[in-house]
Amino acid sequence: MVSALLSCLSPAYGAKALFRNRTMALILGLGLLPAVAQAQEAAEVPVIVALGDSLTQGYGLPADQGFVPQLQDWLTAQGVGAGIVNAGVSGDTTAGGAARLDWSLSGDVDALIVNLGGNDLLRGLDPDVSRANLEKIMDGAAARDLPVLLVGLSAPGNYGADFKTRYDAIFPDLAERFDALLMPDFLAPLRDAGGEAAAAARFMQADGIHPSAEGVAVIVESIGPQVVDLIGRVSQPDAGG
């Protein structure tokens, strides 16, 4: 899926994404604390911040069909109490996520989902840079004693075998180091459900980059049990993974 994502990249994407990222980050920064408070006021349940990019934010989808609202609905259907706060910013890189971590975790937050790295891949950023940024995020969560579910992506072969090896190793390495839960590849459930790449394309939007509402539902079914495990760590922070 990421190879399709790369083929859709236009020369102007970087500048547009940077502008959109800064604008969305400002809006999110002003509105995130009330969102956390509202999640807590709704019920005495754990509050989980989902820190990510457009895959988390729900780009191109109706407000109730993005990753966070579908995950919230899935948890409710399972009888699991939790409030998921959408801290996804379209166009964000791992550096952007690290830069806004402190105010993304403003308020009483109980756990963190980290879903960043896709835009690093789009830009061909050095995997060592991505690793360092994600390490900052994980360090920040550890300093707050927050359990983390780390969500990765699989690098395409376009950048060569060495790049792919170094990038793909980031997520399992950090998950092991920080005792975090791990979903190695956010888009893997779509490939598993669709079989060949052409079949899996039915779960994508027309841009070939972002999952459709149906695709998000497939992803949520896969990641949902791990989010339940993450919630379990809120009351049992020393549980192993």
pLDDT digits (tens, 9 = 90+) for 189-227: 998 886 666 657 889 999 888 999 999 999 999 999 999
Of the candidate ranges 23-32, 39-48, 151-160, 168-177, the one whose mean pLDDT is the lowest? 23-32
Average pLDDT score over the chain? 84
Which SS3 state, helix, strand or coil, does residue 49 take?
strand
What's the pLDDT score for residue 191? 87
150 and 180 in contact (C-beta within 8 Å)? yes
Per residue in 104-153, pLDDT (tens digit) is 998 899 999 999 999 999 999 999 999 999 999 999 999 999 999 999 99
Q: Which fold has domain 2-234?
A: Rossmann fold (3.40.50)
145 and 157 in contact (C-beta within 8 Å)? no
- Positions marked active-site: 54, 207, 210
Boundaries of every domain in the chain: 2-234
20 and 82 in contact (C-beta within 8 Å)? no
pLDDT band of residue 173 (cuts 50, 70, 90) is very high
What's the pLDDT score for residue 27? 38
β pairing state of 111-115 and 148-151: parallel
